[in-house]
Structure 1
Amino acid sequence: MNRSILVLLVTAALGLAACRDEPRSAPEPAAPTLQGRTVVYPDHHPQLAQLGVTPAAPARTLTVELPARLVWNEDRTQRIFAAFAGRVAKISADVGQPVKPGTVLAQLASPDFGVAQADTAKAQVDAQLARKSLARQRELFEAGVTARKELEQAEADAARAQAEVQRAEARTRLYGARTGGVDQRLALVSGIAGVVVERNLTPGQELRPDQMGPGVPPLFVVSDPSSLWVQIDARETEAGTLRPGAAFELVVPTLPGEKFEGKVIAAADFIDAATRTIKVRGLIANPDRKLKAEMLATARVERTPGAGVVVPASAVLLRDTRQSVFVQVRPGAYEPRDIAIGWQGPKEVLVSRGLEAGELVVTGNTLLLARQYALLRDAAGNEPAAAVSAAGAPPSPSGDKAAAK
């Protein structure tokens, strides 16, 4: 009985040991080789499934996408500052309120403006006195009591006084004064029809001249939002496309499914040194007021390229100082090809020389293939006629014969 139990234990131990044996690993696939300038993969190599290819397409109209930003239409925008120091006495308008020309937005109690009103009142009194003096001198001259010189002097004094009245009244009228009295009330008035889009003052706020310099926000901003400007950052290659009068399509990420048509109204004649872009200004209608200032958008422009073929931008590599692509010459075989770029966008590239329509270019994992090509070339010791594996094995005699042929 003990002998039978011992046999069973030994058999179970051997079975467990056999179960613990690790399975043999699958054999590694053969390495790719370099034949001339062509990388050749053996059949069923795992990297082949990672190398996506796309045929080069004939040149067609391309859609160029450019970053854009919506801003107020400055032709229909007014930024209002206080011309004199003072204290905010009343605020009559707020953000979102529609206004017309002449609408009072706020009133300030301004002693400085009171001085301007007083100057107007004094000028009016001086002009009235000068007119009376002129009338008296004219009567005396006609009676032969005074000389013509004194009459002419009175006429000149009256003319100067009247000119001073016109100057003083024009100054106070410019800032909203409608009466001849001195009330020190300075009105901030809208000069255009639109909507109050910004307000930067509070009741009782003191305003001083040193608070109204460059970089200080205006007290009010009034704009007509029924049309907006579009600031487009165009690349140098789009300088000939985005000229005044050119049409573009605006797409806003926050308004999916909607497209807006715009027109270029101005383009800069210089390139921004910081961004290397050309500033282009467009105009877009906004009757429903769906678009808002400072929205980020994308401007799409149709561009007709020259002769050549179009490939995805992911296919293009920079080798040294040259641009190139990998072309599939046959299944599993890829060779680098130097190309000339006619136009380059973020998604597509126009190849003007080096490719023909229909040729298959590598677009997926292009850097992987480029790395494999560099390893094989280095392993070959820059011998273009050798067929060398990735491990750096010496070329076979058959490979030398094929290269010689």
Structure 2
Amino acid sequence: MIRLPLCLLAATLALAACRPAPAESAAAPAAPAAPVLEGRQLRFPPGHPQLAQLPTVAAAPARSVPVELPARLVWNEDRTQRLFPAFAGRVVRIGADVGQPVRRGAVLAELASPDFGIAQADTAKAQVDARLAQKTLARQRELFEAGVIARKDLEQAEAEAARSQADLQRAEARTRLYGGGAAAAVDQRLSLVAGIAGVVVERNLTPGQELRPEQSGPGVPPLFVLSDPTSLWVQIDARETEAGVLQPGAAFELVVPSLPGEKFQGQVLAAADAIDPNTRTIKIRGLVANPGRKLKAEMLATARIDRPAGAGVVVPAQAVTLRGSQHAVMVQVQPGVFEPREVVLGWQGPTEVVVRQGLAPGEQVVSDNLLLLTRQYRTSQEDVRSAATAGAGRAESTAAADRAATAR
């Protein structure tokens, strides 16, 4: 082991202590000066980095503002038919399926129905009774002309023939209404017939299924739903403020999220006269053409309309804050100088609002990071109040010291 003399070790430590410390690679950047509150105006120093986070937009004169409302597509009820069983029976044949186009009068399904057989039998009996009444009337008329019977007997035969003819017409109309012919045999086969030309959009029966007339009603699906999908209804939930705009005949634009880039034109057909107590909206019914059948029933969509803004200016919705019950914006009066401004709104939308009072066209309002600027403004206010309180305390201490010196 090598031993160093004590004097050599001491010299080495002294040289190390005298060696200068390495210089720092770079001086730490100085913190930017804080903004200063002068009266109601918050002033940022020129080039302050926070200014880049406070974009502004000019308040534009109000003309019209786009309004977006939730909407839902449903079948056009003016071109839709829902079929329910009129008689009890069993499904023996299904002649149409979902997506199949059908003509008016086409047989969609056939049921074996004893109840409908009774209606057919009533029609057959009415036909027999009518023929018998006509023969009896002809014979009575011949006897009356020969002077064998009195006029009373002839009139009674005429009344009986008229009653039998009325019963026949009623029975035939009943069987014809449900798909049976006037001279059809009693086969107990009930046909479900299409009353309109369209497309089968819903089918809710299976072969061999037993059906009952009481199965129809609210909450029970129909056996078939026929509709013309080339035009659809649009159910729009409008706010009270849009009630005056969405009147029958008004146009709107329909946008469907599942069909990006495509827009469809619609027209208002009817508007409700009452407000839905659950949603606080007014139900609007519109019509939209669908020749390409891209739109489907029960799709969710957005209806867009242009609403007249009236007097005032238009600013982005995120440029407005709410303080209690008062709305306010931050106005840039000079580059880097901001002041709060209380405003009165005339209309509020999801993306834009109309300011009726408090702003002039062309004034610059902060459109983003408004909460950051508001927090900085309140911090500056607190600093000013703290400085004022500290100054008042120092003045009071000085006055107390002066009074004590005078008393001595």
Q: So what's the TM-score if we normalise by structure 1?
A: 0.85
How far the C-alpha of 1:173 sits from its partner, in A, is 0.3
SS at match of 2:174: helix
Q: Does 1:231 align with 2:235?
A: yes
> Which one has the largest radius of gyration?
2
Question: Which of 212, 219, 222 is 1:218 aligned to?
Answer: 222
How far the C-alpha of 1:213 sits from its partner, in A, is 2.0
Q: Does 1:283 align with 2:277?
A: no
Aligned equivalent of 2:328: 324
Pair 7,292 (structure 1): closer, same or farther in 2 beyond 3 Å: farther
Q: How does 1:96-107 map to 2 (within 5 A)?
A: 96-107=99-110
Aligned equivalent of 2:176: 173
Q: How does 1:244-263 map to 2 (within 5 A)?
A: 244-263=248-267
SS at match of 1:281: strand
Q: Does 1:126 align with 2:120?
A: no
Matches of 1:135 and 1:350, distance apart in 2: 87
Matches of 1:132 and 1:12, distance apart in 2: 145
Aligned equivalent of 2:371: 367
Aligned equivalent of 2:404: none
Partner AA of 1:252 in structure 2 = V
Partner AA of 1:161 in structure 2 = S
Aligned equivalent of 2:63: 60
Q: Does 1:81 align with 2:75?
A: no
Aligned equivalent of 1:202: 206
SS at match of 1:204: coil
Overall identity of the aligned pairs, in %:
69
Q: Does 1:2 align with 2:4?
A: yes
How far the C-alpha of 1:186 sits from its partner, in A, is 0.7
How far the C-alpha of 1:315 sits from its partner, in A, is 0.8
1:181-226 per-residue CA deviation (whole Å, 9 max, x = no partner) reads: 1111111111111111111111111111232121111111111111
How far the C-alpha of 1:331 sits from its partner, in A, is 3.3
Matches of 2:11 and 2:155, distance apart in 1: 149
Stretch moving more, 104-113 or 265-274: 265-274
Matches of 1:233 and 1:118, distance apart in 2: 52
How far the C-alpha of 1:153 sits from its partner, in A, is 1.7
Question: Which of 160, 164, 169 is 2:163 aligned to?
Answer: 160
Report if aligned partners of 2:231, 2:288 keep a CA contact under 8 Å in 1. yes
Pair 330,141 (structure 1): closer, same or farther in 2 beyond 3 Å: same
5+ unaligned residues in a row in structure 2: which ranges? 392-408
Stretch moving more, 171-180 or 247-256: 247-256
Matches of 1:268 and 1:146, distance apart in 2: 69
Q: Does 1:315 align with 2:319?
A: yes
How far the C-alpha of 1:355 sits from its partner, in A, is 0.4
Pair 148,45 (structure 1): closer, same or farther in 2 beyond 3 Å: same
Aligned equivalent of 2:246: 242
Counting matched residue pairs gives: 384
Matches of 2:348 and 2:332, distance apart in 1: 22
How far the C-alpha of 1:36 sits from its partner, in A, is 3.3
SS at match of 1:119: helix
Question: Which of 387, 394, 401 is 2:388 aligned to?
Answer: 394
SS at match of 1:198: strand
SS at match of 1:243: coil
SS at match of 2:124: helix
Matches of 1:9 and 1:263, distance apart in 2: 95
How far the C-alpha of 1:58 sits from its partner, in A, is 2.0
Alignment RMSD (CA, Å) = 3.0
How far the C-alpha of 1:32 sits from its partner, in A, is 4.6
Pair 394,123 (structure 1): closer, same or farther in 2 beyond 3 Å: same
Report if aligned partners of 2:238, 2:283 keep a CA contact under 8 Å in 1. yes
Aligned equivalent of 1:400: none
1:62-97 per-residue CA deviation (whole Å, 9 max, x = no partner) reads: 322222222111111111111111111000100111
Aligned equivalent of 1:402: none
Matches of 2:371 and 2:259, distance apart in 1: 36
How far the C-alpha of 1:106 sits from its partner, in A, is 0.5
5+ unaligned residues in a row in structure 1: which ranges? 381-386, 398-405
Q: So what's the TM-score if we normalise by structure 2?
A: 0.85
